[in-house]
Structure 1
Amino acid sequence: MSWKRHKRLKSWSSAMVLTGISLVFIYPFIWMFFSSFKTNPEIYQSNQLLPQSQEFKQQRQVLIQNDQKVVNRANSFREKRKLKATIKVLAKTPAEELSSGQKLELKQAQTTLDKLNTPAPLQEPEKTVLKEDSSLWSILTNLDFQYFKILLKSNKPHLAKLQKQIDAEADSGKVAALQKEYDFLAQYQYFDFSQVFMNSLIIALLHCLGAVALSASAGYVFAKFEFPGKKALFTLAILVILIPKQALILPLFEWINLIGLSNSHGGIILPGALNAIGLLFFTQIWKQVPNDLLDICRLEGASEIRTFIHALPLISSALLSFALLDFIMSWNEHLLPLIVLQSPDKQTLPLALSQLMGAGLGEPLAVIMAGATFTILPTLTLFALLYRRIKSSLSELHIH
């Protein structure tokens, strides 16, 4: 075997192995996306990745009918119990003491109870022949985005807006369409997705900007200056990394409550404004910047702050890389918002989605999957835009 052929075979083998590993990591996200279009029984079928086109719609209709049957049986049971109580009260009174109205009420209650106790005649179910097209194109073109609509619009502000439109609309056809949409969304009362999404975005962006600014400046000081206690503080930063956040959550909450940031976004942003990982990262990055370039700024009469600002473009890739990593961590943060935030209108998206799991097994899990799909969109977009910068900054990072 020639050297070129051996090299080509080796590269192809490496590509196949890496592709397989990538598919293993990507599969959960693909499964989560397609689960946004499934009913609960389909989601629990772990061997079925794609939703069925025609069968999916039929199963959903059957589930709706079964739910309606349960509601009808429950209403019938309550009506029977009410009629039996009425008949029992009237039957205790002697017939000669009953008024004509009471006799009529007793007769009507007995007649209604007999009708409810009479079983409905069995009807042969209509046989529907399904021509199932299992091609990928058929499945993709038949995807139903109703669960995304439920997540985005099933909240009190949107329902109130729909109600105002119904009251102000004069066309009976439009009123019926709006009322149908209102009745459909009123079955599900979830959080205000747009508000919660903006809360997470604002917190993640401010947390990211604060962490980048403070970590970069602290790393600059540790890399370019000598001062008493430098090694001790650097060692302390390493020790902070080793302490799990769960062990610090109680004193952290007491501190946040003491300074008056409880139940506010500031209580989420401030604790992570400077982290030890960022300090170590930027200390190593600043060590790669030659001191001669900084001395040029100092010889021109620039202050140390201006020298630091002018040197920031030299580490722009590192700044963007750390900003992305911090954004991802703060975007997916769950523990601190759970402790600090109490108001529903101030919750973050991961926290709001996690609370839907406690709503009961009758809720459509596809709504949670749709929300989880939205959670990865900002980080996925930023990673795609900043991939080259991240790759170059990590290649320049050398631990001394």
Structure 2
Amino acid sequence: MQIIKYPTRSEWSKILARPVFDTSSLNNTVSAVLNDIKERGDDAVFEYEEKFDKVKLSSLVVSEEEINNAENLVSDELKAAIRKAKDNIEIFHRSQLFETKKVETTPGVTCWQKAVGIEKVGLYIPGGTAPLFSTVLMLAIPAKIAGCKEIILCSPPDKEGKIHPAILFAAKEAGVDKIFKAGGIQAIGAMAYGTETVPKVYKIFGPGNQYVMAAKQLVSLRDVAIDMPAGPSEVQVIADETSIPAFVAADLLSQAEHGADSQVVLTSTSEPFISEVLHEIERQLFELPRREIAEKALQNSKLILLKDNREVIDMTNEYAPEHLIIETAGYMDIADEIVNAGSVFLGNYTPESAGDYASGTNHTLPTNGYAKAYSGVNLDSFVKKITFQKITKDGIRNLGRTIEVMAENEELFAHKNAVTLRLMEKK
């Protein structure tokens, strides 16, 4: 990890840059695969499953028997944990349900909104180096609460043609309607365009590698909505001399083990504390099963010493981290001034992994600085809001002249006439 001491503000942008990868050939590959799936449907998906996931499938559909058998392959302890996490995620997301309120903006003019679940949504669940069954809960549960009528899920099978049993169990618990064996670009293409087997959806959710992210962004240009642009995962920890070095090191490593392209950042005003954390990272890293992955991620990571909390806050808002952990003595004072972050974790006993799994908040979050403009996935991600208005005869008389003047000055006289005719009607 790189230690950076008292950088000037003019240096912040360069210091906080995310790892950059050459995506020119990647986009060409992704575009070619997507076009092929659009043209040939299932046949193309089968071929790319064999090419990329190294499995020859006879069907893309996960059968009811496979789903039921998966439950027997998941330990009772894990089933209980998934159900507990499901309860907390449901409680938090149900609290976000939209309440319709009718508002009279002018006497006789009433306006309101209605929240409607997106009818068909597709969830992509990675299954490579780590089977993300927690993401199934994070996406399917709010989709169900929102009232989405069709929830489908795609996840890459292993070389035996099977999806990890914990993913299948979580999908069943969360109310997924259909599950398909498809990974990577081919899964995104199948959900975006529809094939003989996989239904076309209206919006695609879920994380993935660079190929998946590129595919989501390409299909979103014309064919389907997506949850958000995203990239490799990241965390920033804000700590001071009152923080616990072992906790901070563990928080940084928990993000580093996600993938070699993850980024972790520590910002602190205490130089001795940074040294303690570095020592703890070295000690804990040695014991990690995913040590090699974490070591690669740490090459992209920074320990930054700053002058005061003002600089810490300003740098954080400039970085706009996906995950932000504030483990300082006065964490609420800092938190109150944070305006750019995906999800914030407060105090020594709130690890980012709580949000990843079971506290109730959603772990599908904007990365790569997109937290400056995007929210993480929430109940609103799965609904659209339709506006309604009702104007009475008195209402059009009260508001009509305002509309006429505005339409006339925009030189849209048919707009004006639609009001004028109503105003001329006899009482």
Same-fold call, TM cutoff 0.5: no
Question: Which structure's CA Rg is the greater one?
Answer: 1
Higher helix proportion (structure 1 or 2): 1
Higher strand proportion (structure 1 or 2): 2
* TM-score of the superposed pair, with normalisation by structure 2: 0.24
Between 1 and 2, higher relative CO (CA 8 Å, sep ≥ 6) is seen in 1
